Amino acid sequence: MPRKRNAGEDKRPKGTAPKKPAGAPPMLDMPRYEWMARARCRGETDKMFPKGHKDISYIQEAREMCANCTVRHHCLDYALEFPAADMHGVWAGLTSRQLAAEQKRRRIQPTRPTLSQMWGD
């Protein structure tokens, strides 16, 4: 006799990925992004990506946090996948201008869509 499922219990066979709803953004490849859980800024995103800031006074504190982060290289690789103009805040100790310069230096073309492409503008 099959086991009865609880309300809200996942009905997928064990080890299968959930289906993506039509029109939903692509799901993150979790093993690829597990470094985010070890980022020094985890839980302190307001220091890295402040909302409504009018000056750049947050950058020094953010850079100090990045300087001692064990996953900084993963963060930089991730940030370089995006158009630098869309990157707000500090990523791996770099601002959006510095990310753009790093993309140019490495001859990297962003592989991720711009925000306007994602929103269909």
pLDDT digits 0-9 by tens, 97-113: 999 999 999 999 988 77
For tokens 């592989």, name the residue.
Answer: 111
What local confidence, expressed as pLDDT, does residue 1 receive? 54
Contact in structure between 53 and 82 (CB atoms under 8 Å): no
Give the tens place of pLDDT for each residue, 35-52.
Answer: 999 999 999 888 888 877
Q: How confident is the model at residue 114 (pLDDT cuts 50, 70, 90)?
A: low
What local confidence, expressed as pLDDT, does residue 98 receive? 95
- Which residue, among 120, 47, 114, has the nearest Cα to 84 in the 3D structure? 114
Contact in structure between 67 and 25 (CB atoms under 8 Å): no
